[in-house]
């Protein structure tokens, strides 16, 4: 009888622990900078730095590798979308300009976000591969 009671208590404690773990949904850190690692199927050009900061006020901004960019965004659960991004107009080498264009185009296609198994933020378009980012302090 005591063994059954102890087993029941252990099972209840285990269930409560597992249920607590299952309810931990990933959170998107607003007002924190993220550094882009990949845009779709391609890594970044060597020594280029692209960033995204999602302000709690609904404004997004960062470095597109050559120019600074800015947009508004909407966040509802796992859904996220960005308005058409604006940017400064500095000219850089062609490879950086092409990457910047790919990044801003990819950003306008984003529909949802998630956190990967390796704790990487992923911004997903309707089709294709995501923009993959790390919190800026990881770099």
- pLDDT of residue 10 exceeding 80: no
**Cα dihedral: 51, 108, 100, 118 (round 10):** 40
Question: What residues does each domain of the chain span?
Answer: 27-138
pLDDT band at residue 111, thresholds of 50, 70 and 90? very high
pLDDT score for 138: 55
- pLDDT of residue 104 exceeding 50: yes
Q: What is the CATH number of domain 27-138?
A: 2.40.128.270
Q: What is the pLDDT of residues 47-70, one digit of tens each?
A: 899 999 999 999 999 999 999 999
Range in 16-25, 57-66, 74-83 the model is least confident about: 16-25
pLDDT score for 55: 96
Q: The tokens 């996220």 sit on which residue?
A: 80
pLDDT score for 59: 97
pLDDT score for 31: 87
Give the chain's mean pLDDT: 85
Range in 22-26, 28-32, 118-122, 130-134 the model is least confident about: 22-26
CB atoms within 10 A of CB 78: 13
Name the residue among 123, 98, 105 with its Cα closest to residue 36: 123
Q: How far apart are CA 111 and CA 93, in angstroms?
A: 30
């Amino acid at each position: 009888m005591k063994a059954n009671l102890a087993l029941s208590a252990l099972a209840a404690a285990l269930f409560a622990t597992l249920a607590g773990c299952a309810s931990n949904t990933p959170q998107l850190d607003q007002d924190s900078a993220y550094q882009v690692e990949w845009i779709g199927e391609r890594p970044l050009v060597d020594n280029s730095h692209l960033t995204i900061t999602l302000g709690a006020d609904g404004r997004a901004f960062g470095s597109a590798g050559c120019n600074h960019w800015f947009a508004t965004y909407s966040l509802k659960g796992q859904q996220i979308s960005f308005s058409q991004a604006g940017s400064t107009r500095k000219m850089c080498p062609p490879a950086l300009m092409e990457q910047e264009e790919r990044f801003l185009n990819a950003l306008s296609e984003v529909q949802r976000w998630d956190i990967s198994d390796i704790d990487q933020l992923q911004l997903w378009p309707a089709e294709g591969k995501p923009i993959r980012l790390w919190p800026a302090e990881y770099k």
